[in-house]
Amino acid sequence: PSGSGSQSSIVGSDTVTSVAWADWSNILAVGTNRGHVHIYDVTTQKRLQSMCKHTSRVGTL
C-alpha cells in the first residue's frame, strides 16, 4: 500500500473498516467490512498474509 494508491488497490472491493500499525516494525494490518484481515509489509509494499475468519466487519484491530 502506498500513499498514492487507491483503497481498491489495497483490499479489492472490500471497504477498509480498521487499521493498525505494529509499533516494532513496518507492518500494517487492515480490517475490512467483509471480515477479512490483511497484513502488509509497508517497506516492500507486499501483502504478507490474509485471514478470513470473521463473519462480519472488523471494527478494531
The pLDDT tens digits of the residues spanning 9-54 come to 566 778 899 999 988 899 999 999 999 999 999 999 999 999 888 7
- What are the residues facing 16 on neighbouring strands? 32
* Residue 16 and residue 30 in contact, taking contact as beta carbons nearer than 8 Å: yes
What secondary structure letter does DSSP report for 44?
T
Query: How many angstroms separate the Cα of 32 from the Cα of each of 3, 19, 24, 47?
Result: 18, 9, 23, 15
pLDDT (0 to 100) of residue 42: 92
- Give the β-pairing of 27-32 and 16-21: antiparallel
- What are the residues facing 18 on neighbouring strands? 31
pLDDT (0 to 100) of residue 47: 92
Q: What letter represents residue 26's amino acid?
A: N
